[in-house]
Amino acid sequence: MTAVAGVARAALTRAARAGDMAPIARPVRVATAARFVRVATVARLVRVATVARLVRVATVAAAAVLLASCAANGGSGGTADGPGGDTTGATPGGTATTAAPRSDATTRPPDGPPGAVPRRGEVKEIQATGSLPPVISSIPTKRKVVFLTIDDGWEQDPGFVQQVRDRRIPITAFAMRDAVEAKGPPDPAGGPGQFVGAGKWGYFRSLRDAHVPIENHTLTHPNLRLLGYDAQRREICGSSTIIRRQLGTRPTLFRPPFGNYNTDTLRAAKDCGLKSVLLWTATVQPGGKIAYQVPDKRLRPGDILLLHFRPNLARDFRVLVDKIKRRGFELGNLQAYLDATTTAR
């Protein structure tokens, strides 16, 4: 150990002489010296020396600068996960034979939000309609990445939460109060449920704890086109209020029931503090079958898929996720991608 440190120190001193610098005085210079050491193939011996740690700090700092634009304008909590998460992923501990390679920049820490995050410049800007929130059906990217969203909340199978948590699957949930609280008859399309309303808001707290953003899908699931502005506003603001009260989080996305909306919906969504109205490009049927809303009937980069909290969701979900991966698509972190569509502006 001391011999190793001695080699490092000797190399550093040589580097210091050659480079005309004060040894150990400034971290940046020490890092430069250590890079010299690495070139001389000594670096893998200096794991225990503080020099190696400084190299890592310098490398991570450079990576953070590169990634800063992805996360800088996030604002709301929990989405600016790029640089912070990457730094922990870049310290393998134990066997650090070289400085962190670039590929470590995409390594996720085990406890951060799951899902692929956009690369710099990957995502195009999404145009807002005047001052109203933009209506988004898909994310403008060429990368093979798709996004999973799940609506309503009738069926509350704890196995599904466990699956999302254990497999680190990125999803976004749009909670509808009457479904979550099991008021009225559940969605007949779901068939007889085993866990209808079983966990109420506690179920959504578990999802929240598994890094699932809980977003706004109204109180009672009306066709908003049939309602005036005031009634729409009551449905939308009421949903945000109850989510905030029950979960302590503030929704930023709104999904109109049935995908039906008009200008009053956009005004109400804006007045209730929501940033985007989110639609979808394909729905997922029982059995994990994808029903496309586009003529070419295949997954496309940036697609947003819509599922429902239905019986057998855990099983169907497994089929779906495996299918998506077999087709060479990643699952994206929707919030990080949406942030990128606005920072592109």
SS3 string, 286-339, reads CCCEEEECCCCCCCCCCEEEEEECCCCHHHHHHHHHHHHHHCCCEEECHHHHHH
Whole-number minimum distance, CB 152 to Zn ion, in Å? 5
In the bound state, the residue with its beta carbon closest to Zn ion is 151
Whole-number minimum distance, CB 282 to Zn ion, in Å? 15
Residue 154 or 329 with smaller CB distance to Zn ion: 154
Span of 12-20, 106-114, 229-237, 255-263 interacting with Zn ion by CB under 5 A:
255-263
94 Cβ neighbours under 8 A, 6+ residues apart: none
Among residues 182, 253, 176, which one has the least CA distance to residue 222?
176
- Residue 81 interacts with Zn ion (CB under 5 A): yes or no: no
Backbone angles phi, psi at 301, to 5 degrees: -55, 135
Residue 151 or 235 with smaller CB distance to Zn ion: 151
- Residue 122 interacts with Zn ion (CB under 5 A): yes or no: no
If one counts every other C-beta atom within 10 angstroms of the C-beta of residue 285, the result is: 15
Span of 67-75, 131-139, 159-167, 252-260 interacting with Zn ion by CB under 5 A:
252-260
Residue 151 or 303 with smaller CB distance to Zn ion: 151
Whole-number minimum distance, CB 147 to Zn ion, in Å? 17
Whole-number minimum distance, CB 149 to Zn ion, in Å? 10
Whole-number minimum distance, CB 247 to Zn ion, in Å? 18
SS3 string, 115-149, reads CECCCCCCCCCCCCECCECCEECECCCCCCEEEEE
Which residues inside 131-160 make contact with Zn ion, applying CB under 5 A? 151-152
Residue 81 or 151 with smaller CB distance to Zn ion: 151
- Residues forming contacts to Zn ion in the complex (CB under 5 A) are 151-152, 257
